[in-house]
């Protein structure tokens, strides 16, 4: 029987990008989520819906169904003065802030110049296919 919307699902998993481990179950405890509520990427949910407790699978979720394709228009160059107060600003740093509507945003520092900072609003895994190794621990 397919997993149902709002059903609690517990999984053990690993996620790799280009063969490199980027995430997984912590401390050998299953990751628990409510199916169909946006707590995990839709591309993964659509591939596990027919799995049952105890089943395991290797699943490839293409970038378009994970964190989206990389969008080169999501790069901005801002005056360095906008980063005053951020200690140890460095390339690769992930920063959480608020937009003009006080909504949370996250971006990555790509370049730091003398007068400007280049930032990237793409998710760090945008444009990447995700390789899952998953086992359904239980369905509640």
Domains, the chain, with CATH or none = 8-68+126-139 (3.10.50.40), 72-120 (2.40.10.330)
Buried b (16+ CB within 10 A) or exposed e, 64-101: ebbbbeeeeeebeeeeeeeeeeeeeeeeeeeeeeeeee
Strands 104-112 and 94-98: antiparallel
- pLDDT tens digits, one per residue of 60-86: 999 999 999 999 999 999 999 999 888
In DSSP terms, 130 is beta-bridged to: 61
- Global pTM? 0.81
């Amino acid at each position: 029987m397919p997993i149902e919307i709002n059903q609690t699902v517990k999984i053990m998993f690993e996620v790799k990008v280009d063969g490199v481990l980027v995430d997984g179950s912590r401390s050998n405890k299953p990751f628990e989520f409510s199916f169909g509520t946006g707590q995990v990427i839709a591309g993964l949910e659509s591939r596990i819906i027919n799995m049952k407790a105890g089943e395991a699978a290797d699943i490839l979720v293409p970038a378009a169904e994970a964190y989206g394709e990389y969008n080169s228009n999501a790069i901005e160059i801002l005056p360095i003065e906008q980063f005053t107060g951020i200690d140890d600003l460095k390339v690769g740093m992930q920063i959480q802030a608020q937009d003009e509507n006080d909504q949370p945003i996250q971006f990555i520092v790509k370049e730091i110049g003398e007068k400007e900072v280049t930032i990237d609003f793409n998710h760090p895994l945008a444009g990447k296919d995700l390789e899952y190794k998953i086992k359904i621990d239980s369905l509640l």
